[in-house]
A and B are shown apart, each in its own frame.
Chain A
Amino acid sequence: MRKLLARLYGDKSVGSIRAYDAKSPLTQILSVFFVLICALIIVIVLLPVIWVVFAGFKDIRELNRSTSFFPASFDLSSYVKTWGQLHFTEHYINSFIVLIGGVFCAVIFNGLLAYALGILRPPGYKIVFGLVMWTMLIPPTTSVVAQYLNIRSVVETLAGLMNVKSQETLLAVAPLWFIMGANAFWLVLFKQFFEELPKDYIEAATLDGCSDLRVFTHIILPLSKPIMMVVAIFAATAAWSDFLLPHLLLNNSRWSTVMVRLFEFRSAMRVNDTDRLRAVVFSIIPPIIIFSLFQKQITSGIATGGIKG
């Protein structure tokens, strides 16, 4: 036990316990306790998710009567049927349209402003940064009413000028792309990263006569791939999960996303519990894929952004 613990704590240099504590009985008891609690936490975290996937395999009668955790059969055809009946292909496509435009806007617009605030620093940049920071903590949800009215009036005006129905064109979706470009949290992530870039590259390029915009596209962005990844991942999960503004803008249109549908299912009588559960499973698959691919970038982005921001 002592040797095992000493080895497990071998190169640990953070927190309280060190390898030399392995001989104390208190450490030995506590470490066993810690492992048990960790196992319990992993169960608490994963259980609801595993439950919903399993429950999706049950039919409605089994869901209401059987108390078993496992379904009677793992027959994928029930999932396939719900997918088709609730038109999930369409909703997935819509969600991805919102997501891709949103990620693009999140990286470009926040990146540009961060570049100006962090590197170019034109006169007055401090006021701009102050304004951005002040509104960072006042959530957009408080002004969602005004936001919605703003968006509506611009979209309807544009649709009138172009002589189209807004709900049938991408005009209905575009506001959800551009809103990703005004995010103070991602802006700060970019700004911190840019400020730590080597200055000589940028100065050399400026002396060579590169315009500021060219410096951004040809020097800053190629050097900033790690932070672009972090912001892109955050923007992608945010775009996928958001539902209030999408619900207000896209409800009853051909663009309704996975989350908009899921929000409607909460009260829709014609959707039964099993379909609802399967829809939940469909809605969590893409984020889980993103998370398993990029879990390192996500967790490190949270830690640095949280500490400094």
Chain B
Amino acid sequence: MSGDLVIDVRGLTKRFGALTAVDDLALNVPKGAIYGFLGPNGSGKTTTIRMVCGLLKPDAGEGRVLGHNVLTESAAIKARVGYMTQRFSLYEDMSIRENLEFIARLYELGDIDGRVERSLEQLGLASRAAQLAGKLSGGWKQRLALAACMIHEPELLLLDEPTAGVDPKARRDFWDQIRKFSEDGVTTLVSTHYMDEAVQCDYIAYIAFGKKLLDSPTREIAARVGLHAWRVAGPDLGALAHALEAAPGVDFVARFGVELHVVGADEAALARAVESVRARPGVTIERIPAGLEEAFISLMARAPEAVR
């Protein structure tokens, strides 16, 4: 095993009855990285995260998490991993402080009072420490959940769609926090639906139907997917979009505000398609680099065939 890999697993497979939720998945997450986990709903993100932290037993696969065998040493892994569930899963009938104290005791930490106090400060929860968790809004619940899964200072954070249902400001604060943890050497595996969050990750793995379709440093993704893009603007975008979608060489047309992004893998055919609408009155076209967003729309569109 490479000494720098916090998660190093291969061939992870999990079946629920006839459904294969995760199929032969490999993950290599270097220390200190923020590793984004993208994919549509039901693609196996949660199942993978649960297998990594020992909550689910893989049907097949092998590997190490924090140097411990992922199949046999889940107790040792649990002690060093912080796991934040998709759904809020602390006690709603207990206060913020009671929840944090309880979790801290489960890890048998020393100086529980001091630790809880620091955690409350660090995540800005001090003023609400006595409030019942059930009475908190989504953003505060999320902060509490993050505080709870960080209370034992884990080396690996597993975050399962941590920002679902949280307002943009709270989301931004949350990511600032994750950045800080990362700078302190904490490794993070985070699943998300949001593109603006995905771009914050150092690496991205894209999975669909339980298979990993892409795994790469974030900045190389667009190039790897091999896409070309043009910006098309003009009056009557609807008609333009229709015309372009029908043209050969165009994989898909995505609408961004008052312009269209026309994307295709075949550079020459794409250029011809875009040229065909240039003559229309008021239409402007411009070559642009394909971004992450285009890459994922393309991946999602291709996913079913890729899996077959």
Indicate whether A and B interact: no
